[in-house]
Structure 1
């Protein structure tokens, strides 16, 4: 799409940012891809920002948007079935179907410009009975976005996605009664579950076509910066880049997807949980890159408030991403200052 620079005063509701809006302090106010609304346009004008870049041919009919989303949804479902087949085959002793992994990752990279549709799709999914398979693909899609935001080139993106698709294949070796337990695992069950990253590494390393970086992404995605993770309890620079990326995406998807035994956590609750844990256990730079960028895609989402009203996310401050500004009819509610109201769920 063509990118043009225009006066903020000439912007229209529905225009889409073509580049990040960065303040003089270095703080990213809005990320590329944000769809402008009345509140954001007024905010830009009040901050004295005169010109921004937008996509000139962003306008798209409702039917075209729905078609693109439907195509992405169908493609998603097909990939989940492929991952299901791969993991089920491993469970009965078959070899890893690496060519199918490569095909999935190449197709995902092609969808990199579908960022808004990808986030919309992942925020509305319900996959009670196929969580493991959906989770592998969800983490891959989030890793694709995060890798792009970190500036990774296509070759590295493809390898990152291979690691992300395969990060949980070791669960093929975990007993079903533990893997599908409806509730929290006890200590013994959790110790068995923790072995999945080692199992996944051992499965993947049998195929000599799989690179060392991909193998490290699979093995180390549950390691923590402070050494409290598993299976090797390594820390800091000993954890590979791919593993650090996958770790963040893994946590976010696990929090925000609905399970048989728990409801989905809202993105804003997830932002807070990840940020609190992240300063000691996750790579801070990668974590903040993910949170700030993924938060921008929540603008425009409909949410249910604790007082029962339905509103729309009007703006998310980069300083307070888990307390956005919500517009309910003509009222604007700043959840950072209004402590009596909070977001309880997304409204699809």
Structure 2
């Protein structure tokens, strides 16, 4: 798809941004793939942005996007089924098929430049009946993207993606009645579930091709910065980088995906919940990078408000990602200043 640089005064509503628009301070203002609207164009002018890159042929882009989604969905479903079979094999006592893990990770990594499509796909995915297996895929996608946003070297992102695919392998050793319980776990059940991190580490370390950083990522993905995590109650710098990344993506996906016993949260409610105590539980710099980057991909999405009206997310302030600006008809609604209104669902 051909890109061209245009003066901000020559941009039109509906133009698609071809490269992330970055401020002088390094913050992402508008992400690649965003459809320009009147609000965003005016905001860019106010911020002193003179030129941006847009796609030259939007109709062609949309056609390619439809083809991409069809292909992506097919490959995603195949890999979820593969993970399901792999965990089933582990539960029956077979050894880890690391070659298959590598293949799934490579499929995920191939999509590293499709940030807009991946995030919108995962945000509207409905597959709670296979939550455990979808969750492994989703966390791997989010972790891969977060690694890119953190500007990690390509070879490190490759290993990070493998760790994320494998982060919940230990659930193969958790009894089905706990793993598939249609409701919250009680205290005793949760203590058993917590062992999955250690089990996953033990499964993966049996294959000598799995490097130590990947193993640590699997073992430590439930550790927390303040020492309240498990299984080792580690703090701060004692926690492996992969685990710091995976832990954030793990929680975000768990909040925003449907389960048999609960509906999904909107991304914006998830942002609020994560921010409540996330800055003590997670690495602050990594958490901020995740929130500020992922939030921007919801610009342009159609949403339903709690009063029944349908609107469009037209802007998200990097410092207030949980409270976007919504356009309903000709009205602009800043949810930061309208606490009686909230987004209850996404439409696309």
Question: TM-score by structure 2 length?
Answer: 0.95
Counterpart in 2 of 1:325? 325
Structure 1 residue matching 2:303: 3-state secondary structure? strand
Structure 2 residue matching 1:217: 3-state secondary structure? helix
- The correspondence of residues 62-77 of structure 1 with structure 2, limited to 5 A, is 62-77=62-77
Distance in 1 between residues matched to 2:12 and 2:250, nearest whole Å: 36
Counterpart in 2 of 1:170? 170
Counterpart check, 1:34 vs 2:34 = yes
Distance in 1 between residues matched to 2:67 and 2:253, nearest whole Å: 25
TM superposition shift of 1:262: 0.4
Distance in 2 between residues matched to 1:25 and 1:98, nearest whole Å: 42
Distance in 2 between residues matched to 1:120 and 1:27, nearest whole Å: 21
Contact 2:305 2:343 in 1 (8 A): yes
Distance in 1 between residues matched to 2:10 and 2:150, nearest whole Å: 31
Q: For residues 203-244 of structure 1, what are the alpha-carbon distances to aligned partners after superposition, in whole Å with 9 as ceiling and x for unaligned? A: 000000100010001000000001110000011111111101
TM superposition shift of 1:62: 3.6
Distance in 2 between residues matched to 1:60 and 1:37, nearest whole Å: 19
Structure 1 residue matching 2:129: 3-state secondary structure? coil
- In structure 2, list runs of 5 or more residues that go unmatched: none
- The correspondence of residues 125-140 of structure 1 with structure 2, limited to 5 A, is 125-140=125-140
Aligned residue pair count: 348
TM superposition shift of 1:55: 4.4
TM superposition shift of 1:18: 4.2
TM superposition shift of 1:32: 4.0
Distance in 1 between residues matched to 2:64 and 2:55, nearest whole Å: 17
TM superposition shift of 1:311: 0.8
Distance in 2 between residues matched to 1:249 and 1:54, nearest whole Å: 30
TM superposition shift of 1:2: 5.2
Decide which moves more: 30-39 or 110-119: 30-39
TM superposition shift of 1:12: 2.5
Counterpart in 2 of 1:151? 151
Structure 1 residue matching 2:69: 3-state secondary structure? helix
Contact 2:310 2:328 in 1 (8 A): yes
Distance in 1 between residues matched to 2:310 and 2:324, nearest whole Å: 14
Distance in 2 between residues matched to 1:144 and 1:26, nearest whole Å: 21
Structure 2 residue matching 1:53: 3-state secondary structure? strand
TM superposition shift of 1:344: 1.2
TM superposition shift of 1:261: 0.5
Distance in 1 between residues matched to 2:210 and 2:54, nearest whole Å: 40
Counterpart in 2 of 1:82? 82
- In structure 1, list runs of 5 or more residues that go unmatched: none
Structure 2 residue matching 1:34: 3-state secondary structure? coil
Counterpart in 1 of 2:293? 293
TM superposition shift of 1:22: 3.7
Counterpart in 1 of 2:316? 316
TM superposition shift of 1:340: 2.2
Distance in 2 between residues matched to 1:58 and 1:280, nearest whole Å: 43
- The correspondence of residues 45-64 of structure 1 with structure 2, limited to 5 A, is 45-56=45-56, 60-64=60-64
Counterpart in 1 of 2:185? 185
TM superposition shift of 1:124: 1.0
Q: For residues 127-158 of structure 1, what are the alpha-carbon distances to aligned partners after superposition, in whole Å with 9 as ceiling and x for unaligned? A: 12110000000000111111111112221111
Counterpart in 2 of 1:94? 94
Q: For residues 282-317 of structure 1, what are the alpha-carbon distances to aligned partners after superposition, in whole Å with 9 as ceiling and x for unaligned? A: 011111111111111101111110111111111111
Distance in 2 between residues matched to 1:62 and 1:47, nearest whole Å: 29
Distance in 2 between residues matched to 1:119 and 1:294, nearest whole Å: 8
Distance in 2 between residues matched to 1:24 and 1:110, nearest whole Å: 30
Contact 2:2 2:57 in 1 (8 A): yes
- The correspondence of residues 11-30 of structure 1 with structure 2, limited to 5 A, is 11-24=11-24, 27-30=27-30
TM superposition shift of 1:23: 3.6
Distance in 2 between residues matched to 1:108 and 1:25, nearest whole Å: 31
TM superposition shift of 1:48: 3.0
Structure 2 residue matching 1:297: 3-state secondary structure? helix
Counterpart check, 1:111 vs 2:111 = yes
Contact 2:306 2:344 in 1 (8 A): yes
CA 1:8–1:295: 2 relative to 1, 3 Å? same
Distance in 1 between residues matched to 2:26 and 2:129, nearest whole Å: 44
